[in-house]
């Protein structure tokens, strides 16, 4: 289980506001520990810019860096920008990483005893652009690239080259899709829906060492219960075809869905998951949440709902601390449990979905 202790939060207005818009910045240093990293320290800075016209969605920028006792490091910069009238939306991300992960094999019954440690290191970058067609309907296109080298820290399957992508490589994915987004807020919606379908293609022509394709569908709905209480619902599916490397198939375990599992504890070509989360305001800037969900993985889409598919549960609770009184952006701390005693503690920005 990962443990992270927050040391301090510094929240302040930005040095200057552009025009009539308002901007706020916060800085968050932390210290933590995990079996694969040892002691880790890091910090993040986050800026939220809200236009004077509150119908325009806020833009954000984030810088993050961390370092561990085992000489592992991660740093990224990300910007999320909305144009006037929410006509255009762009998200750009650039990351340098040397972080440890675990591989257990493929399938929903991969044993914990098969655990292998490995360390990917390299560069990741992505750009996604969305264009409003009408109302909440958007079209989107983008490109994602990573150049990673993988060092296996165990004498297992990753050392034998029996696993596709075990030594790393270059992956370039051309992306396209559509989005219906009627949420009333991008950070913590009280009402509305979000339905996104994104397809990606990886081939030599896109700058990739691997040829594969993926389809990701993410559907969310938010139901106001009154008194700043919300029921949030999500169904997500991931389908992978072709020769995808082992670290780019569907993985169980993240801070967004199927919480409570180590990243990649289970993996396969396809995934289906659903979750519900109850969110409530408690006092001043403090809120809470309780959630439960489940998912399945399979080598083919037909196996996701087959009678023999293993259902992987996820449940937990968390607290929220609102960063600014003028924005719903918040720090999220969740504790989640999965199957066979697996668990996780997550420190993140904004809601899981």
* Sequence spans of domains, the chain: 3-349
Output the pLDDT for position 301: 97
pLDDT of residue 247 exceeding 90, the answer is: yes
Residues 126, 140: Cα–Cα separation, whole Å: 13
Domain 3-349 - what CATH class?
mainly beta
Q: Return the bridge partners of 28, or none.
A: 44
Output the pLDDT for position 108: 97
Place of tokens 């106001």: 224
Query: Residues near 94 by Cβ (< 8 Å), separated by ≥ 6?
Result: 76, 77, 78, 123, 124, 125
Place of tokens 């999320």: 80
Query: Residues near 203 by Cβ (< 8 Å), separated by ≥ 6?
Result: 211
Q: State the average pLDDT for the chain.
A: 92
Range from 30-39, 60-69, 288-297, 305-314 carrying the lowest mean pLDDT? 30-39
pLDDT of residue 32 exceeding 60, the answer is: yes
Residues 140, 128: Cα–Cα separation, whole Å: 7
Residues 223, 26: Cα–Cα separation, whole Å: 30
- Model confidence band, residue 182 (pLDDT cutoffs 50, 70, 90): very high
pLDDT of residue 283 exceeding 80, the answer is: yes
Count CA atoms within 13 Å of residue 80 on its CB side.
13
Count CA atoms within 13 Å of residue 86 on its CB side.
19
Q: Which of 72, 73, 67 is nearest to 29 (CA)?
A: 67
Output the pLDDT for position 16: 44
Burial of 226 (0-12, 13-18, 19+ CB in 10 A): exposed
Output the pLDDT for position 81: 98
First to last CA, the chain: 22
Are 334 and 318 in contact, with CB atoms under 8 Å apart? Answer: yes
DSSP state of 245: -
Strands 59-68 and 343-349: unpaired
pLDDT of residue 207 exceeding 90, the answer is: yes
Strand, coil or helix: what is 46? strand
For the record, the structure tokens of 153 come out as 């820290």
Strand, coil or helix: what is 85? helix
Q: For residue 96, how far is the Cα from the chain centroid?
A: 17
């Amino acid at each position: 289980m990962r443990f992270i202790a927050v040391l301090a939060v510094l929240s302040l207005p930005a040095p200057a506001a552009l025009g009539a818009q308002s901007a706020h910045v916060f800085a968050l240093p932390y210290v933590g520990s995990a079996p694969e990293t040892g002691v880790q320290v890091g910090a993040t800075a986050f800026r939220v810019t809200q236009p004077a016209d509150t119908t325009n969605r806020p833009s954000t920028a984030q810088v993050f860096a961390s370092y561990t006792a085992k000489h592992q490091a991660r740093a990224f910069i990300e910007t999320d920008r909305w144009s006037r009238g929410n006509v255009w939306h762009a998200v750009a991300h650039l990351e340098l990483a040397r972080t440890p992960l675990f591989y257990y094999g493929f399938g929903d019954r991969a044993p914990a005893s098969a655990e292998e440690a490995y360390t990917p290191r390299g560069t990741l970058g992505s750009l996604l652009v969305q264009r409003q067609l009408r109302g909440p309907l958007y079209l989107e296109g983008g490109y994602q690239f990573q150049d990673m080298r993988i060092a296996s820290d165990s004498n297992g399957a990753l050392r034998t080259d029996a696993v596709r992508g075990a030594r790393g490589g270059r992956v370039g994915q051309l992306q396209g899709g559509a989005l219906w987004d009627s949420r009333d807020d991008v950070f913590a919606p009280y009402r509305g829906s979000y339905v996104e379908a994104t397809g990606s293609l990886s081939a030599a022509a896109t700058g990739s060492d691997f040829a594969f394709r993926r389809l990701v569908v993410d559907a969310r709905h938010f139901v106001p219960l009154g008194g700043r209480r919300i029921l949030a619902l999500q169904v997500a599916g991931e389908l992978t075809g072709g020769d995808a490397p082992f670290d780019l198939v569907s993985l169980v375990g993240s801070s967004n869905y199927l919480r409570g599992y180590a990243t990649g504890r289970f993996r396969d070509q396809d995934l289906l998951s659903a979750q519900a989360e109850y969110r409530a305001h408690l006092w001043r800037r403090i809120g809470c949440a309780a959630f439960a969900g489940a998912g399945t993985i399979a080598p083919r889409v037909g196996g996701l709902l087959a009678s023999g598919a293993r259902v992987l549960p996820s449940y937990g609770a968390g607290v929220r601390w609102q960063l600014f009184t003028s924005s719903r952006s918040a720090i999220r701390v969740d504790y989640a449990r999965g199957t066979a005693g697996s668990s996780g503690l997550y420190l993140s920005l904004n809601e899981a979905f």
